[in-house]
Structure formats: C-alpha cells, structure tokens
Amino acid sequence: MILRTTNSKARPMIRKVRTTTALRPLHHRLDPAAVEEIPFRAGDGVRLGLTRIDSGEADRPAVLLLHGHTASSDMFLLPETRNLVDVLLDDGYEPWLLDWRGSCRLPYNETGQKYTYDDVALYDIPEAVAHIRQRIGDRPLFVVAHCIGSLTLSLSMAAGLVPGLAGVVSQGVFLTPKLAGRTSLRMSVAGELLKSRIDHVPVDFRKVGFWSKYTPLFALASRKASCPDPTCQILHNSAWGTGASLFVHEHLSEATHNRLAELLGPAPLWILPHLRRIELARSVVRWHDGDHRYRALPPNALDAASRIDTPVLLLAGSENGLWLDSQKLCHEVLAHRQPQLDVAYTEIPGYGHLDTFLGRGAALDVFGHILDFLGKRR
C-alpha cells in the first residue's frame, strides 16, 4: 500500500474581486434588442454605465433614472415585479439609466480609486445629461433620483450644471439630509475605529466567510433581527452597520429578498467623512474646498438653491428608517427660504426607503405619484 502525504494546513481561499471596470450585466426581462448599452466615461476618465431602453417610438419624453449609493440600475428593472421602467414605457416615456461611480455594477466601491460625492455631482450626472440631450434633441428630459443619486443631483442643480430639466422626482433625500442620532454617531465612531482595518462593509456573507474580519459586523447586525438571512440583517436591520433600516421587510417579494446581495453592494468607508460633513451641516456641502477643479460646485447647495430652475417632487416613505423626515424638512425649508421654487412633497404611507422602488406593491402605491408629476409637465 502506498501512503500519500498531504499538507495538513489548508490553503486559504482567495476571494475573487473584480479589478476591471467592465460593467456587470443588467438583470431584466426586456427584449435584449431594446436595451442599448452606451460606452460612457466621465470627464475625469472614470468608466460609467449609461443604458437607453428603446421604446420603438422616437418622440417620447426621456426620463433619467439615478440609483442610490451601492445600488445600481438593476433597482429599476426588477424582473420579478412590475418595475419603474415597465411603468414608464407603458405611459409613453423613454427610460435612460445611469450607473454612476457608486454603482455595484462597477468595482469602484471595493477596489477602485476613491471619490467623493463632488465627483458624482460635477462629472457623472452633468455629463450623462449632456449625452442624453445630444441624443434626444429638444424633447423633454425628466429625472427620477433615489437616495444619494438624488442628493448629488441636488448639488449639480444648485451649481447650475443641469439646467432646463422638465422635472425632477427626488426620493428619500434632497437638499437637507437628516439621519437619526444613533445612525450619525455609529457612522462617526465606526468610521474612526474601522478605517485602519477595512475600507468597505460587504453585504454578502457568503463571499467573506465566517472566519473573516467582517464577522463582527454581521454578528452586530444580527442582534434582535427577525430575518435569518445575513444580507438582510446587515441591510434591513443595520444599513451597513449604522443601525438604520433600508426597507420595510414585508414589502419585498421573496425573489427580491433573495437578490439583495445582487441589488446592493459593499459600502466604502472612505466616503464617510464627506457624508458626515453633509449630515452635520444638514445640507449638501462640497468636500473639495481647496481644489480648483471643483469650483463650479457651490460650497453649500442649500444656500445656492435659488439656481434650481425645474419643478421638484420630494417623495418619501412615512417609515423611512435611514433619512427619516428629510424630505418634509426640505419642503419646509425651501418654502421659507426659496418660496419662488416649484417644490411639492408627497409622503407614501407605510413605506420605508428602498421599498418605494423595490417593493412588490410599489407600482400601485408609489409609481402613480411619479407618473402624475411627470404627466403634468411633459
């Protein structure tokens, strides 16, 4: 008998991380021929994703959809439910989707060069708008923006970089970000304690494994959680460790719930200083004060809100566990400081933050408000 010796020390499993800027394919049920992926780079050279959904008609108003940080355009294309793109197509619009540099279809949050929200407001959004306008000519262009996509859009608008939009729907937060006290505290403390050990907070426990430096974060997120899924715990029960909640759990279908790790990616910790400055100011403020490249952006977007030249609908769920009543506050502040602006506020009873788009009933409960707003201005 021949005895074979083996190495008693197992080799550590090497985690595969995307290092290229290739976009992950979109997950949708549309005819592939109707989905036009457009090569697109921001002015600073960063590769982004811009997608046009061809409706088959050339004279439709265009609607640009902006996702939140760590999400992607997939949040508007859920194949398991009636999604926002479906509704827009049926109502006579041409959807355009931008995957800005915070998209989980891109690798930048985990492995790419660091950025701030200034870069999104200065490069990503204005250049996407300019590209769309080259294609659509004088047709109306609307924007529907979620979370940080909306927050950075407000900075672009206050800078006068995207003038002449036909209307903007802002979901979750706009000019006046407001977090719960414990969320702000955890964000500050965690950012300082963890920045020397990790540079991002993952959401997919299967990728990091049990014996990893991220295990304590998942364990903390699981405290008092009603759902056994680790990804759901770190998003619904903890919002990447901040103690906030991203959605009302029962609003998600089983299929959407099972795709959370695909729909939301790692949250970079190096963005926290800018986010903390924004939250402490209770306004969207510029990060790069000494860099001349960012002089086009106002130091404080709320102070420059008079430059906003388009109607705005502030939309929010009544149970928003992340940004609380930021949109209601924004409406009150603008009504007092900039009464000439056309700004409306609508609250969706019983909805949280992400479920306003991901919820299985969003087409009935939420999207009608968006269509009413767009329809009055098309």
pLDDT for 359 equals: 98
Quick: pLDDT tens for 263-313.
Answer: 999 999 899 999 999 999 999 999 999 999 999 999 999 999 999 999 999
Least confident residue range of 97-101, 172-176, 273-277, 355-359:
273-277
- Mean pLDDT, rounded, for 56-85: 97
- Mean pLDDT, rounded, for 98-122: 94
Q: What is the DSSP letter of 273?
A: H
- CA 25-61-129 angle, to 5 degrees, is 60
Mean pLDDT over each residue of the chain, to the nearest integer: 90
pLDDT tier for residue 356 given thresholds of 50, 70 and 90:
very high
pLDDT for 181 equals: 79
Judge whether 147 and 173 are in contact, CB under 8 Å: yes
Dihedral sign of CA atoms 303, 308, 312, 317 in order: negative
pLDDT higher for 114 or 6? 114
Quick: pLDDT tens for 166-203.
Answer: 999 999 999 999 998 778 777 776 666 666 577 788 88
Judge whether 91 and 375 are in contact, CB under 8 Å: yes
pLDDT tier for residue 220 given thresholds of 50, 70 and 90:
confident
- Mean pLDDT, rounded, for 128-145: 97
- Mean pLDDT, rounded, for 45-52: 96
pLDDT for 260 equals: 97
Tokens 């998600």 — which residue?
A: 252
- Mean pLDDT, rounded, for 214-218: 77
Give the chain as a 3 state SS string.
CCCCCCCCCCCCCCCCCCCCCCCCCCCCCCCHHHEEEEEEECCCCCEEEEEEECCCCCCCCEEEEECCCCCCHHHHCCCCCCCHHHHHHHCCCEEEEEECCCCCCCCCCCCCCCCCHHHHHHHHHHHHHHHHHHHHCCCCEEEEEECHHHHHHHHHHHCCCCCCCCEEEEECCCCCCCCCHHHHHHHHHHHHHHCCCCCEECCCHHHHCCCCCCHHHHHHHCCCCCCCCHHHHHHHCCCCCCCCCCCCHHHCCHHHHHCHHHHCCCEEHHHHHHHHHHHHHCCCECCCCCCHHHCCCCCECCCCHHHCCCCEEEEEECCCCCCCCHHHHHHHHHHHHCCCCCEEEEEECCCCCCHHHHCCCHHHHCHHHHHHHHHCCC
pTM confidence score? 0.92
pLDDT for 192 equals: 64
